[in-house]
Structure 1
Amino acid sequence: MQKNPSLKRSLGLWAIVALGLGYMTPTVVFDTFGIVSKQTGGMVPLAYLVGLVVMLFTAISYGKMVKVFPSAGSAYTYTRETMGPHLGFLVGWASLLDYLLLPLVNAVIIRLYMEALFPDASAWIWVLIYVAFVTAINVYSMRSTSGVNTILVVFTMALMIAFVVLGTIQLSKGMGTGTLLTIQPLFQANMDTAAILAGATVVCFSFIGFDAITMYTEEAKDINTVPRAIALTVLIGGAIFFIGAYYAQTLFPDVSVFHVVDDTLPEIALHVGGVIFQLIFLAGAFAATTASGLASHSSVSRLLYVMGRNGVLPRKLFGYVHPKFRTPAINVIFVGLVSLLAMGPSLELVASLINFGALIAFTFVNLSVIAYFVFKKKQYKTPKQVFSYIIMPTIGAAFTGVLWAFLQADAFIGGIVWVVIGMIYMLFMSKVFKRNIKDLDLDEAEQLPS
């Protein structure tokens, strides 16, 4: 038994990609389709294309930073090491809101699914069973989490393919536009650019899985695969979202057919494939949500682990690694306890707060590239360096900045309150921060086995 146990390197390229795709929850394109279609005037695929472009620039920045700092911690680590521990803490704190709420959101969705199937049962039972299942798998091992997640992702992909096949058949029979080859979902003479950007703000956070991938850097068999996994996750996830949105938009040019616009997945499945396919597709959505729950639960546990290891959070608790399972077991259990709060709030209330932390993380990862390569390493003397380390991350930061303009007021208010709490905590722990600045360097952290 190791004296100072560390995270176990057990994840290959496609296992990490599967975790990212699982985090993204591919079926969410159908859950939010009605909302975005109404918002964009029937141009959901275009909103996803805009979102994909924004995420690609930020994904490239993540790929650059993960090579420089091959440690779990994501935006927190990159900001901490390039712009200082105090700003890094605030970015990590803001991201923590995002990451902590994502497992809770999945628990809320599962609760809603089960309430629809069993309306007479108490809602807390489903939350308790689901959270206990996800927590137990994450405590046991990362390999188990990855394995279960991969099975669920494959099942979800199979159902997405089935939807495309059935959708093609329905289009050939005259449903919707009656043809797959139409420019309408991508261009309209009277399209509203502001509405498209607002829709892109909603769909962008479907891509959040690529960000979570960096949390598995210390568990990757080869850290050089992580940047590739980031790019693959964004591209594959973006393709899945675009294809799903394009088929849904050609099948349903407007939202008039839906009784419940806020979550159109059940009705989409019913109209495309009938009652049997609807039940199967709901099972796929359940699987996708569980996969996302596994991935989001494990990633936030690792963010807490890095913050605990660095002394930002109490090290004995949050920096603990189970000596046998080699997982951040206390953090996993803590996230499980937070997820139990899904017994009460609505999905809209929780989801409205997630956007704030995600945009802060995306913005500062782009800025970290500039801070590290330009200001620290002085790599701005060739056209290639200017393009890679100034132009590209600046565009990425600017794109995320545009999305800030379309955040809901509730997201701003809740996010600001959370950041203020973090600032108060940082001031209270200022002596600890000073000690960490002098004594702790991530390069001096325990070496992880290869």
Structure 2
Amino acid sequence: MVDQKTPADAPRASARPGGAPALRERLTRRKPVEKLVAETEGAAGAGLRRHMGFWQLSMIGIGATLGTGIFVVLGEAVPVAGPAVVLSFVLAGITALFSALAYAEMAGMIPASGSAYSYSYATIGEFMAWICGWCLMLTYGVSVAAVGVGWGQYINELLHLTTGLSLPSAVLAGPMEGGLVNLPAAAVVLLSMFALLAGVRESSRVNAVMVTVKIAILVMFVAIAATAVQDGNFAPFMPLGMAGVSAAGATLFFSYIGFDSVSTASEEARNPQRDLPRAIMFSMILVTALYCLVAFAAVGALNWTDFADGETSLAGILTGVTGTPVWAVVFAAGAVLALASVVLVVLYSQTRILFAMSRDGLIPAAFSKVDANGTPRLNTVITSVLIAVLAALIPLGPLADATAIGTLFAFALVNVAVLVLRRTRPELPRTFRVPGAPVTPVLGVLACASMMASMGVSVWAAFAGWLVVGLAVYFGYGMKRSALETADGVAARP
């Protein structure tokens, strides 16, 4: 039963009797944890259907995380760290683990599809929750477009390996890059849209197949490359010192972004309190193990000085080891599926964040309407079409880099949420508890802040521009229509 006492996270009363709440009260009003939990249990008639168990949730986490990083970033990190890139993956994984632990505790306690947005709403207040949600829009939306662009490059690579032909540049780049339209990038987003429209059951099955395939091709790479591992390729192990290991670790940290997608499936999980924390931790452990194995096999089979930046370094190693391009073709085909699964899962996560924000009244109600199958159909179509246009026409540049800041900001807020609820609501049931709190969440905040501070001026400029737009939307639309704007919890409408 819900505690009849007024909880510490309940909305505060108006500072102006008989009138509208003061601005400060409106910005810091919080959504009670009990209300969030009640909504996830269907008390508010949300309409989402609970179909997913532990394995489906784990496939979401692995599908969103295991992709661009290992297929692209490894080739950029090896020249920085040398053979010690394996340690760089461990370092990046430990850094990401701080936030993963925080997500696990919050997801088990507040199984809401809004993820970090909902956690912030319950602990820090509406304004910071809006900023968090706005950052997540940037993170998910632009990253889907960016991965779509990478998917087009792999499609072109696969075509070249199998037929010797290549797609014309006019359909591989948008008009701002000298082309006409990036058709493959738009196509993979729209294909993912149709998979999501088919329903959660069907799209989760498609994702499970793609995740299984990409795990299989990475295991295949390790098995083949391991036959060519030479001890001499590991000496010197740390040619650029610990500074190189740390620098590569900062680059590789973004290979772990995606585990948070598990929490956006909270309201479609059969047993979220039990399965969400387990799925988050399992996906992190599996991804870290695969990353380290692939990195070990790669630098063991090819001297670190021979690594060149590029997206096909792993495929190139297979060709060099076997003396035939056949395995490179298999690997490139697997990479196409790998990146497609990232697009599918991250697009899914984007629609669920928007669903939660719409239910709270901060964005139009159309985004929280679901069909008979429990699918937010209009939300999915609008989001997918906008992202497909972004991927097809606009070069991402610094905006894509700004997604990293948005992600780190959300991660930091989740760590803060753990600290706040440990202090204000210690009695709340927790199916998972962050070990070493409050030290661990504090380290999580510091790790995120450190990485944000290391980013360039152009990235911060793009991020600041996005925040300015977000502030205009919140003060012009969201704040007045918030479901907490009126005392009875019904969103105020013009």
TM-score bucket (shorter structure): 0.7 to 0.9
How many angstroms does 1:409 deviate by? 3.0
The answer to which of 11-20 and 271-280 deviates more is 271-280
Alignment size in residue pairs = 423
1:285: Cα distance to partner? 0.4
Q: Distance in 2 between matches of 1:5 and 1:213?
A: 19
Aligned partner of 1:342 in structure 2 is 391
Distance 1:431-1:101 versus aligned 2 partners, 3 A rule? same
User: 1:48, 1:238 within 8 Å by CA — same for their partners in 2?
Assistant: yes
The equivalent of 1:298 in structure 2 is 348
Q: Pick from 463, 466, 489: which aligns with 1:415?
A: 463
Asked if structure 2 preserves the Cα contact closer than 8 Å seen for 1:198 and 1:406, the reply is no
Bigger Cα Rg = 2
Q: Could you tell me whether the CA contact under 8 Å between 1:98 and 1:357 is conserved in 2?
A: yes
TM alignment of 1:81-230, pairs within 5 A? 81-116=122-157, 117=159, 118-120=166-168, 122-123=171-172, 124-171=182-229, 174=230, 177-178=231-232, 185=237, 188=238, 191-193=241-243, 195-223=244-272, 224-230=274-280
| Distance in 2 (alpha carbons) for counterparts of 1:145 and 1:153 | 12
Shift of 1:30: 3.4
Aligned partner of 2:439 in structure 1 is 391
Q: Which runs of 5+ in 2 are unaligned?
A: 1-43, 160-165, 173-181, 428-432
How many Å separate the matches in 2 of 1:339 and 1:270?
Answer: 35
Is the alpha carbon distance of 1:229 and 1:209 closer, same or farther for their aligned partners in structure 2, counting shifts above 3 Å?
same
In 1, Cα distance between equivalents of 2:239 and 2:188: 47
Please state how far the C-alpha of 1:35 moved relative to its aligned partner. Answer: 1.1
- When the two chains are superposed, the root-mean-square deviation of aligned CA atoms in Å is 2.6
Amino acid at match of 2:358: G
More displaced 10-residue stretch of structure 1: 120-129 or 207-216:
120-129
By how many angstroms is 1:388 displaced? 4.4
Which residue is 2:72 aligned to? Answer: 31
Matches of 2:57 and 2:193 in 1, distance apart? 19
Structure 1 residue aligned with 2:22: none
Give a deviation string over 1:157-180, Cα, whole Å, max 9, x none: 111111111111112xx5xx457x
Cα distance in 2, alignment partners of residues 434 and 293 from structure 1: 31
Write out per-residue CA displacement over residues 228-271 of structure 1, whole angstroms, 9 at most, x where no aligned residue.
Answer: 1111111111111111112112223324353x546534423322
Deviation string 1:400-448 (CA, Å, 9 cap, x unpaired) is: 2222232233322211111121112222133224844744499xxxxxx
Residue deviations 1:177-222, cap 9 Å, x none? 457xx5855xx375042x4333222211221221110000101111
* CA distances 1:292-328 after superposition (whole Å, capped 9, x unpaired): 111111111000000001111112x111112x22111
Using structure 2 for the length normalisation, give the TM-score: 0.79
AA partner of residue 398 (structure 1): L
Q: Structure 1 residues 256 and 347, CA, compared in 2 at 3 Å: closer, same or farther?
A: farther
**Structure-2 separation of matches of 1:347 and 1:29:** 21
Give distance in 1, aligned partners of 2:416 and 2:45.
Answer: 34
Whether 1:267 and 2:325 are equivalent positions in the alignment is: no
Cα distance, 1:419–1:304 mapped onto 2, change above 3 Å = same
Residue 59 of structure 1 contacts residue 231 of structure 1 at CA under 8 Å; is this kept in 2? yes
**1:26, CA displacement in angstroms?**
4.2
Match of 1:240 in 2: 290
Q: Flag structure 1 segments of 5+ consecutive residues without an equivalent.
A: 380-384, 443-450
1:350 Cα offset (Å): 5.1
TM-score by length of 1: 0.87
Deviation at 1:276? Answer: 0.3
Structure 1 counterpart of 2:114, one-letter code: G
